[in-house]
Structure 1
Amino acid sequence: MTILSQIVQDERTARMVLSMLVEPDDAVTGRLLGELGAQELFRIAEGDDAVPGLSTVDAQVWRAQFQRPDTRTLEENLVEAERAGTGTLIPGEKDWPSALDDLGDRRPYVLWTRGMTSFLARPLNDLVTITGARASTSYGEQVAGQLASDLACAERIIVAGGAYGIEGAAHRAALAAGGDTIAVLANGVDRAYPAGHSELLGRVADDGLLVSEVAPGATPTRHRFIARARLMAALSTATVVVEAGARSGSMKVAQEAHQLGRSLVAVPGPVTSATSVGPHRLLHSGEARLVAGSTDLEQMIRQPVGSRGSVAAVRSRPAPSASRDARSVVEM
């Protein structure tokens, strides 16, 4: 019988298999991965030795993720991913985005890619995340599109999640301006989700970059959407929230950006609109700065990092109610 340790003959393959077995944003697995390396992690997962830092009961729970895997399917999936031309990046490689190392034990095990991985190696200040409501208004889409277009013309890379509404408008505007854009997915890079954006995501794959921490073939789930938020926040120097409900997934991205000490800005909207609640709460709490156009955003990005507040200072503040709401419900 084939066991996992016979499949994972090197660090890259081990991390690829790990992303097929363990859900993303598992801090226990992330800690062990950092301390032991992927191959040693699998040896311990399949053995009876003590698991560093875990009690006997916790070790049993952790090991359950590795029990009775369909190794034949795993091998077939690895071969299929190679045939499909899907790329992978692991920590330490040339194009690995060092910004993700700020996540510590929550760093992704591997990144699956389609497109220009060199975008990920650009300086942090070159990347800006734009996120917002799926059920956006024409006002929100116009603002998101204008910001993305102006930033793209200034040679910034637009990061978004490929969703309907604000994020789709940001991707389209960046492409129309001849700029660069990255779509961070909660599913495999071989799947178009949402299906209505299959053409748009195809264009991003051709001219920009699709990236995910889950393996090809993986479907989006609520947990994967929540986990993806930390990647969208960590990759960029700033996160811009353009329209969001009080408990939307975009507020989770904002929360992650705030906790990482990244710049967080919000676009105000009509007080009569439900999509203005999220940005207005971020502005009222002081988590976000108001941005009224690309000039404001560029000026903020160019400020020295120290003048935007340190990570330690941000993490010492209590989380406001808007952040607590963002943890409880995520739009999908």
Structure 2
Amino acid sequence: MATLAEQMQGERMARVALSMVAEPNDAATGRVLAQVGGIETLRLVESDDPVPGLARADALMWRERLSARITPDLPNRVAETQGGEFGTLVPADKEWPAGLDDLGERAPYLLWTRGATSFLTAALSDRVTITGSRASTSYGAHVTGDLATGMADEERIVVAGGAYGIEGAAHRAVLAAGGQTVAVLAGGLDRPYPAGHSDLLRRIGDVGLLVSELPPGAAPTRHRFIARNRLMAALSGATVIPEAGVRSGSMATVLTARELGRGVGAVPGPVSSAASTGPNELIKQRFASLITQPSDMIALLDADDPPKRGVTRAELGQEFGHRRPEPGAPGRSL
């Protein structure tokens, strides 16, 4: 019987298969993939040969983890995705966003897309990520709307995650201004999440761009949300936080942005507001530039001297109570 690798017709289909058997942000899979490509990575999963970049014990655990998700119908599932509603991008494609390569072994295996992939060919300085609290205040939603509208007026692309609160406010403001926006999802593009934003996400897919590293049918989980944040940081020249608690999941986007040498901005808020504790602390610790108006965001994106990588994830994580997720952990459905 033909192996899974033998049934894959080219690198694209091999990476589609990998997206179905390996969790996002799996450093072991990313390390092997970067060295040998998709088809050989699949072959190594089903063989006993040494795995480049992995010690024997690590290779055994890696094989066990991935092979458990290889089912007899997997080749058919891969084939069914070709020519369907959603497109795919791999690193060899001209639309592949070069900023994702900065993630190294944590780069996505491929991207699933719906909409204007041309948004991904723009320079990093033409894209800004806006993220923050799902339980935003009226102050946070108002400021976010003003900032996002300003980006649309400047023909900059706003990247967010489609969530309630800050991200939803950013998307809606850009669409209302006739601007360009990208929503990065933590599940399959056919499973819009949150359900209350189904219409918003559908509209973004029609006039903007939906992106995910997970195949159709995949459900969002806690791990996948955390993994998604690294893509939001890598896709843009800067990440801006209008509102968030110090332990908000959106702060993980800040950690990755600083690791990658991207700009970070934060909007100051009332000291009495729990929703502003994250941005206020970022500004206080000088981890972020002060953002009060769209021109501040433009200056952050166009800065000739981006933040250095001197602030490590460990330092930021200790300050804001974050721990790096264990690579490959599937997490739980939300």
With the shorter chain as reference, the TM-score category is: over 0.9
Q: 8 Å contact 1:3–1:71 — kept in the other structure?
A: no
What is residue 57 of structure 2 aligned with on the other side?
Answer: 57
CA distance in 1, matches of 2:193, 2:76: 23
Q: 8 Å contact 1:252–1:323 — kept in the other structure?
A: no
What is residue 66 of structure 2 aligned with on the other side?
Answer: 66
Alpha-carbon deviations, 1:113-135, whole Å to 9, x = none?
Answer: 00011111111100000001000
Q: 1:323 to 1:260 in 2, by over 3 A?
A: farther
Partner SS state of residue 318, structure 1 = helix
What is residue 321 of structure 2 aligned with on the other side?
Answer: 324
Question: Does the alignment pair 1:282 with 2:279?
Answer: no
What is residue 257 of structure 1 aligned with on the other side?
Answer: 257
CA distance in 2, matches of 1:317, 1:67: 33
Shift of 1:316: 9.3
Q: 1:316 to 1:230 in 2, by over 3 A?
A: closer
Q: 8 Å contact 2:24–2:214 — kept in the other structure?
A: yes
Amino acid paired to 2:169? A
- Fraction of identical pairs, as percent: 54
What is residue 306 of structure 2 aligned with on the other side?
Answer: 308
Which one has a larger percent helix, Structure 1 or Structure 2? 1
Q: 8 Å contact 1:46–1:66 — kept in the other structure?
A: no
CA distance in 2, matches of 1:154, 1:204: 19
| TM-score, normalised relative to structure 1 | 0.93
Paired residues, number: 327
Alpha-carbon deviations, 1:237-289, whole Å to 9, x = none?
Answer: 01000110121111111111111110000001111111011111111111111
CA distance in 2, matches of 1:319, 1:188: 30
What is residue 298 of structure 1 aligned with on the other side?
Answer: 298
Amino acid paired to 2:316? A
Q: 8 Å contact 1:255–1:326 — kept in the other structure?
A: no
CA distance in 2, matches of 1:325, 1:280: 17
What is residue 28 of structure 1 aligned with on the other side?
Answer: 28
Unaligned runs of 5+ in 2: 326-330
Q: 1:159 to 1:316 in 2, by over 3 A?
A: closer
| TM-score, normalised relative to structure 2 | 0.93
CA distance in 1, matches of 2:100, 2:69: 29
CA distance in 1, matches of 2:16, 2:147: 36
What is residue 328 of structure 2 aligned with on the other side?
Answer: none
Any residues of structure 2 matched to 1:37-52 within 5 Å, and which? 37-52=37-52
Q: 8 Å contact 2:186–2:214 — kept in the other structure?
A: yes
Partner SS state of residue 319, structure 1 = helix
Alpha-carbon deviations, 1:125-156, whole Å to 9, x = none?
Answer: 00000001000101100111110011011000
Question: Does the alignment pair 1:248 with 2:245?
Answer: no
Shift of 1:194: 0.3
Q: 1:213 to 1:299 in 2, by over 3 A?
A: same
Shift of 1:74: 2.0
Q: 8 Å contact 1:265–1:290 — kept in the other structure?
A: yes
CA distance in 1, matches of 2:299, 2:56: 53
Amino acid paired to 1:310? K
CA distance in 1, matches of 2:241, 2:95: 27
Unaligned runs of 5+ in 1: none
Q: 1:326 to 1:51 in 2, by over 3 A?
A: closer
